[in-house]
Structure 1
Amino acid sequence: MRMSSPPPSPAKSQNTPDPLQLLLESHQQMRKFAALAAQLGKARGKQPAELSEAASQIIRYFTLGMPMHAEDEDYSLAPRLFDVTLPPEVIKGLWEMARQHEDLERAVDELLPAWVAVRDTPERHRELAAYLTLGGRQLMSQVEEHLSMEEQRLFPLIRERLDEETLAVIAMEILDRRGQLA
């Protein structure tokens, strides 16, 4: 009689993505849209439809994508890291990550009316250009500071401190937020 092996656990499945890779891909998106926000004010000579589309993409990312990313870290990653033994500086980094998410949300809330104005009435771009440029640069700086802190201080601990099953659960939660689960 042939013995069958047990089904693979979610952590060992070839179909379970790596949560660290998912988070890093999200960081690439955040950098991409922060750069687009920083460039929007300087987009002189663009057609109104191009300005409107760029503003629309920025709005979509910063009102949907960035909040999902913050939830990935605040609700899926941080609680699992708090469950394991961590040095005090890492615990401080986790609290700093959450605070920075709030700061980024405030920065987006400040810029959102200008992005909406350009999306809905691109003719106002010239009037808003200086504000968009300054605000976009500040946002890009905040984003880079935030992402660099996570990548240097927190992300190395993901594989070091969390077991395969926990990593699989985090990955599935991230995908679930994005509606990618079957």
Structure 2
Amino acid sequence: MAIQIGQPALPTFNEPLALLKDCHRRIEHFLDVFLLVANQASGNPLSTSQREALETALRYFQEGAPKHTQDEEVSLFPRLRSLACGQDQAVEAILQKMDVLESDHRRAEIAHAEVDKICRRWLAENHLQSAEAQRLISLLNELQQTYSRHIRLEDDEVFPTAGQLLAPETLKTIGSEMAARRGQKVQR
């Protein structure tokens, strides 16, 4: 995704919750790219721009998206769960929703594995059988529905709750862990 002039600066690892939301925008963007290419080309030979777009989206979901899942499941969710004792009912409800979110992650991983397999065949053979092209679009539509609900829950409920409950030092630690997953250091 290109930087847009006049847009706010991208969040940094010093703002891990904002960075997680920004990752959601990338997930939405690259899923839209998949759907655009799949619907435009319908399994037919890919143009150069379609091929490049498909390769970029595949790379994001193979490399970037798993790190995002780890950011949530390894860094954020366990810290929220550790606060479960003695919190009000609204907080307890958010914590219970994290099981659903983790289940969403597993379903998305399975769907992405199949999307990856179909798209790599498309790139290698420069066409898909009609049934494969339809299956790809079906998988992508399912992923879009899952991500839409999933992202809304995290952006609107989980991340704001985390921002209220987690200490600034804990958020810094989460940001440092996120940076380390990407081979970077946090600039303080």
- Please classify the TM superposition score into its range, dividing by the shorter chain length: 0.7 to 0.9
Match of 1:50 in 2: 49
Structure 2 CA distance, aligned partners of 1:156 and 1:88?
14
Structure 1 CA distance, aligned partners of 2:118 and 2:157?
34
Contact 1:51 1:119 in 2 (8 A): no
- Call closer, same or farther: CA 1:167–1:125 in 2, change over 3 Å: farther
* Larger Rg over CA atoms: 1
Paired AA for residue 89 in structure 1: A
Cα offset for 1:47?
4.7
Q: Provide the aligned length of Structure 1 versus Structure 2.
A: 168
Paired AA for residue 135 in structure 1: L
Contact 2:13 2:19 in 1 (8 A): no
Cα offset for 1:29?
0.7
Cα offset for 1:24?
0.8
> How is 1:1-182 mapped onto 2 (pairs within 5 angstroms)?
17-44=14-41, 47-85=46-84, 86=87, 87-124=91-128, 128-181=132-185
SS in 1 for 2:40: coil
Could you report, residue by residue, the CA deviation over 1:123-174 in whole angstroms, capped at 9, with x for unpaired residues? 3387743232222111111111111111122111121000110010001111
Structure 2 CA distance, aligned partners of 1:19 and 1:134?
33
Cα offset for 1:46?
7.5
Paired AA for residue 92 in structure 1: Q
Structure 1 CA distance, aligned partners of 2:21 and 2:45?
32
Paired AA for residue 64 in structure 2: G
Identical amino acids, percent of aligned pairs:
25
Aligned-pair RMSD on alpha carbons? 2.2
Structure 2 CA distance, aligned partners of 1:129 and 1:61?
21
Paired AA for residue 148 in structure 1: R
- Call closer, same or farther: CA 1:126–1:58 in 2, change over 3 Å: farther
SS in 1 for 2:144: helix
Contact 2:13 2:179 in 1 (8 A): no
- Call closer, same or farther: CA 1:32–1:125 in 2, change over 3 Å: farther
- Call closer, same or farther: CA 1:166–1:110 in 2, change over 3 Å: same
SS in 1 for 2:136: helix
Contact 2:46 2:127 in 1 (8 A): no
